[in-house]
Structure formats: structure tokens, C-alpha cells
Amino acid sequence: MPTTLTDEIVAFLSAANPAVIASVRPDGQPVTVATWYLLEDDGRILVNMDARRKRLEYLRADPRVSLTVLSADGWYQHISVQGRITEWRDDEGLADIDRLSRHYREDAYPNRERPRVSAWIEIDRAHTWGA
């Protein structure tokens, strides 16, 4: 894990917590959406998107993102990370969305029809609120 992430942050990000990701449109408008995420062993964060989303195009143009992770049980703690998508990969066989789905729902991802894309976020900064 990178040194920017304390043990406490790693523990929090490793849980299946609700999260919101922000990207920026080419005209400068920020756009947020709820997202599943998964902290990988190398300290990067995996997110996964429908391959046909407009957001994908915007993120390829400007890979900077911000992710806020909330506590599943209330407002007592939340963490915001700023970073950049440093790797893209077509999610062949939907292996990555299945990993995310099993993390959150303990089951494979139900929609097998639409192609998806995985992205890995390199964390530049992390801010923690609460205990």
C-alpha cells in the first residue's frame, strides 16, 4: 500500500461502503454519480463503467477524479480521495464488475449483455473526517 494511506484509511476503504465519484465535463461542469469501488492490493481503486456512458469519454479526456466514501451505518466517518485514472481495461468476461458485485452484493453482476470498462484510480490525496 502507498504511504499516503494509513491503516485506518485502508480498513475503511476495504469495506463495501457507499461511494460517489466525480469527474469533470469538457466544459468544466463537475458530474457526480454513485459508484461501487474496490481498493486493490496495490493501493489503487478499481471502478467499473458501462462502456457506452458519455462519462467514459469525459474521463479519457480528463482522468482526474474525486471519490467520497461514506460509512454504511451513518455519518460518523467519511473519506475523500483525489486522484487520476492511470489504467483502463475492457472488462472481458465481466470479471471486474463481478468482483465488485460480489464485494457489495455477494453475487455476480446480473446484467451480462452490455460491455463494461474497468478503470484504476491512483490516489494523490486522502482526507478523513470523523473517528
Which residue among 53, 62, 103, 128 contacts a second copy (CB under 8 A)? 62
Q: Select from 1-9, 62-70, 91-99, 111-119 the region that touches a second copy (CB under 8 A).
A: 62-70
**Contacting residues for 86 by C-beta, under 8 A, at least 6 apart:** 44, 63, 120, 121, 122
At position 51, the amino acid (one-letter code) is A
For 98, other C-beta atoms within 10 Å of its C-beta total 17
Among 3, 7, 28, 41, binds a second copy (CB under 8 A): 28
Contact 46, 100 (CB under 8 A): yes
The residue behind cell 458530474 is 31
Report helix, strand or coil for 109: coil
**Residue 57 or 92 with smaller CB distance to a second copy:** 57
Task: With contacts defined by CB under 8 A, name the span among 3-11, 39-47, 67-75, 93-101 that binds a second copy.
Answer: 67-75
Residues in contact with a second copy by CB under 8 A are: 18, 20-24, 28-34, 62, 64-68, 70, 75, 78, 80, 82, 104, 127, 129
